[in-house]
Amino acid sequence: MSDLLKDKSQRREKRAGKLPSEGSHGVRGKETTGKTKDSISTVSYIDELAHHDDNPRMAVTMENTYQMGPYKRIPIPAVTDILKDVLTSYLQEEEYEGEWSQKMTKTISEVIRARVKDLMIPRYKIVVLVHIGQLTGQSMQISSRCLWDAANDTFASYSFKNSSLFGVATVYAVYFE
């Protein structure tokens, strides 16, 4: 059972000005486990090293921009194309393999994030989620809900499949008020 758990590892990378985040190095993960009857739950989050060393965020008073909404919206077809392009080029003709997939998910999510940033849409925060899994006839459901401003925030996703693996990438773009 622990082998399977290791397979389902989750990595998170955040861009920080000071910290060149480098995947599994230099990242302190914190896990707590709880047991109830026949189920086990594990919590994990990456404690960004620079996070709590910063001075407590001063109540920043920004000047009014008088901007009611984003001037430029996220072009969903362009983002879907990026996802399709990246997933196909990285996963076509590949076999599922534990170690390789770990690195691949991180790489793919970084690449997608960089390309979405290149679209130069100001004031949008980006969250990229990539899942790569083995196809062994199992069933799976991936779903999400968001509490946000439906007029300004949006998402795009794409799924790819070949004979031994599947890959799903989702990008959420949230407007920063």
Partner 1 sequence: MDEYQAEEETAFVVEEVSKIIKESVEAAIGGNAYQHSRVNQWSTSVVEQCLSQLSKLGKPFKYIVTCIITQKNGAGLQTASTCFWDNSSDGSCAVRWENKSMYCIVNVFGLAL
Residues 130-169 that bind partner 1 (CB under 8 A): 130-149, 153
Cβ–Cβ under 8 Å, residues 41 and 34: yes
Q: Which listed residue (79, 82, 91, 128) binds partner 1 by CB under 8 A?
A: 128
Can you tell me the distance from the alpha carbon of 29 to that of 26, in angstroms, rounded to the nearest whole number? 10
Residue numbers 60-99 binding partner 1 by CB under 8 A: 96, 98
Q: How far is the CB of 71 from partner 1 (least distance, A)?
A: 19
| Residue found under tokens 């196909």 | 88
Q: How far is the CB of 28 from partner 1 (least distance, A)?
A: 13
Task: Single out the residue of 2, 28, 41, 93 in contact with partner 1 (rule: CB under 8 A).
Answer: 41
Question: Does the protein bind partner 1 through residue 123 (CB under 8 A)?
Answer: no
- 9 is a site residue for partner 1 (CB under 8 A): yes
Q: Are 173 and 160 in contact (CB under 8 A)?
A: no
> Roughly what angle, to the nearest 10 degrees, separates helices 98-118 and 76-91?
150
Beta-carbon neighbour count of residue 104 at 10 Å?
19
Contact status: 127 vs partner 1 (CB under 8 A): yes
- Between 101 and 160, CB nearer to partner 1: 101
Q: From CA 98, how far away is CA 13, in angstroms rounded? A: 19
Least distance (Å) from partner 1 to the CB of residue 63?
17
- Listed residue (57, 50, 63, 64) closest to 20, CA to CA: 50
- The residue among 70 and 106 lying less far from partner 1, judged by its C-beta, is 106
15 touches partner 1 (CB under 8 A): yes
Q: Per rule CB under 8 A, is residue 120 in the interface with partner 1?
A: no
Question: Are residues 81 and 65 in contact, defined by beta-carbon separation less than 8 angstroms?
Answer: no
User: Token pair 């991180």 is at which residue?
Assistant: 106
What are the structure tokens assigned to 132, written together?
A: 């790569």
Q: Nearest approach, Cβ of 34 to partner 1 (angstroms)? A: 7
The verdict on 59 binding partner 1 (CB under 8 A) reads yes
